[in-house]
Amino acid sequence: MTYFLYIGTFVLLLIFQTTIMPYFLLFDRFYDLLAPFVIYLGLFRSTRESIPTIIVFGFIMDNLSGGPLGLYLTTYLWLFAGVKLVITILRVRDNVLLPFVVAAGVLLENIIFMGTITMFESGSRFSQADFSTVAVQVLWALGTGPIFLILFNYLHQRWDQYFKEMFSPQKG
Amino acid sequence: MIPKKMVVIIGVIILIAANIIALSVTSRRHASFGSGRIALSFAAPFQKAVTRSIRFARGLWRHYFLTVSVAQESYKYKEAFGLAQQQNNQLGELKLTNVRLRSLLDFKKTMTNQVLAAEAIGKDPSQWYKTIIIDKGRDEGVAKGMAVVVPEGIVGQVMGVSAHYSKVLLIIDPNSAVDALAQRTRARGVIKGVSSGRCLFKYVLRKHDVGVGDRVVSSGMDGVFPKGLAVGHVAGVIRRSSGIFQEVTVTPFVDFEKLEEVLVVLSPPKH
């Protein structure tokens, strides 16, 4: 049942990111919405449950994007591993630290993308506008990232509770 | 001696008679005494206040109902106005779509190649790569490598195909390359995308004359894009003292943020 929730969430985020957001100038330089989702998995869910989800979603994203195949997949896996590492050192599940975790995740994703472009595309150069895009994305992540994490966590809890009540034996 | 009962009856009769006489006198003279003015001055302000209060309350009550009915009417008008505005917007949108489609149709007529109209339905999830998803795929005859154009110029080429959808690599993507030439001087080079949404006209020899504002068109030599399709205009030229090439920046004619309908060139260009 958890995977159905993940699929639903993924589809919603994907549609919002690729179809709805381009119509709004405000979201012109918004970050990848799947990044907070992967961070959520890293923070609150088990590795065994998260890895297949990340592989499937990363693969789909790779197929929708013009980047090299596997770029999203590896980025998400690195992001997940990074979050798992961080939670062994810091207590980041507290709401205070969440904005910084998402911002760091978005920054890491952009660094991986820029690194890939630099490595695989000869003569590639980054303009000031590119760095400004990264900065704006990080700022967006600082402001809105925790909202996504809290929302994902809340939805998951409600989802689990709903199915627990539905499948638990009737009392009395 | 006269009984007491009789005295009372006589007294009452005298009082009635005196009352009748007094009434008869006052009714004929219409007399006004000072006491009347005093009473009037005393009572009238209260009467006035009460009367006004009653009238105010009655007016308020009437106005309340009137306001309610006007408000209801206003809601009705607002609703009708909103609906009319919505219809107006829809008509405006239809008009714009009509203009766009007409321009696409006119352009289609000018193309010697067989083309297929498609709609852009999605954008690349990443900010670093520039692709779009269109609603035509293998079943409609689209294949990998086909050129995608609009009346303004070249959009890109198909890089992935499924049964009913295709992924198009835009010419502003860093992975894109279009063989092109400057229309005025026929200087040849390759149009490459850069992440900022502009293109670089690469490998243009230093000895060739390319100036700001020059139109850049496809050469047709890459086997993907038909010859003579508009790409963009030269926005900047840097000729360094060393090196064999000059650095030419090109601004595409196509506004990639507003892509809605595109044409897929089904038949390859003729050389």
Give the nearest chain A residue to B159 (CA atoms): A66
* B44 — pLDDT class (breaks 50, 70, 90): low
Highest mean pLDDT among A87-96, B29-38, B107-116, B130-139: B130-139
Give the nearest chain B residue to A62 (CA atoms): B125
Please state the rounded mean pLDDT for residues A11-21: 84
Half-sphere exposure (CA, 13 Å, Cβ side) for A69?
A: 6
Using a CB–CB cut-off of 8 Å, the residues of B that contact A are 121-131, 133, 159-160, 167, 169-170, 173-175, 192, 194-196, 202, 257
Closest residue to A126, CB basis, from B121, B129, B195: B195
* A41 — pLDDT class (breaks 50, 70, 90): very high
CA distance B167 to A148: 29
CB contact under 8 A, A66 and B169: yes
Tokens (6 digits) for B257: 């943020």
Q: What is the pLDDT of residues B73-124, one digit of tens each?
A: 888 888 888 778 777 777 877 878 777 777 777 777 666 678 888 888 888 8
The domain limits of chain B are 36-110, 115-265
Q: Which residues of chain A have a CB within 8 Å of the CB of B133?
A: 18, 64
Least confident of A25-29, B160-164, B190-194, B211-215: A25-29
| Whether A110 contacts A134, CB under 8 Å | yes
* Model ipTM value: 0.77
CB contact under 8 A, A113 and B128: yes
CA B130 to chain A, closest CA, distance in angstroms equals 6
Tell me which of 2.40.10.340, 3.20.20.330, 3.40.50.1380, 3.40.50.300 is the CATH number of domain B115-265: 2.40.10.340
- For testing the chain A interface, which of B93, B119, B124, B128 should be mutated: the one with the most A CBs within 10 Å? B128
Which phi and psi angles does B252 have, rounded to 5°?
Answer: -65, 150
Please state the rounded mean pLDDT for residues A149-153: 88
CA A84 to chain B, closest CA, distance in angstroms equals 24
* A126 — pLDDT class (breaks 50, 70, 90): confident
Please state the rounded mean pLDDT for residues A91-115: 85
Residue A82 domain-assigned? yes
pTM for the model: 0.69
CB contact under 8 A, B257 and A22: yes
Closest residue to A130, CB basis, from B129, B192, B195: B195
Q: Which residues of chain A have a CB within 8 Å of the CB of B175?
A: 66, 121
Q: How high does pLDDT run on average in chain A?
A: 85
CA A44 to chain B, closest CA, distance in angstroms equals 25
Please state the rounded mean pLDDT for residues A23-42: 88
CATH number at residue A89: 1.10.1760
Q: Which residues of chain A have a CB within 8 Å of the CB of B174?
A: 117, 121, 124
Following DSSP, what letter does each residue of A108-142 receive, concatenated? HHHHHHHHHHHHHSTT----HHHHHHHHHHHHHHH
CA distance A149 to A159: 15
Q: Which residues of chain B have a CB within 8 Å of the CB of A17?
A: 125
Please state the rounded mean pLDDT for residues A61-76: 84
Number of folded domains that form chain A? 1
In the prediction, which pLDDT does A172 show? 45
In the prediction, which pLDDT does B43 show? 52
CA A5 to chain B, closest CA, distance in angstroms equals 21
Which phi and psi angles does B244 have, rounded to 5°?
Answer: -95, -15
CA distance A53 to A45: 11
pLDDT surpassing 60 at residue B42: no
In the prediction, which pLDDT does B99 show? 78
Q: Which domain holds residue A86?
A: 2-167
CA distance A41 to A51: 9
CA B175 to chain A, closest CA, distance in angstroms equals 7
Q: Which residues of chain B have a CB within 8 Å of the CB of A125?
A: 194
pLDDT surpassing 90 at residue A36: yes
CA distance B205 to B217: 17
Q: How high does pLDDT run on average in chain B?
A: 81
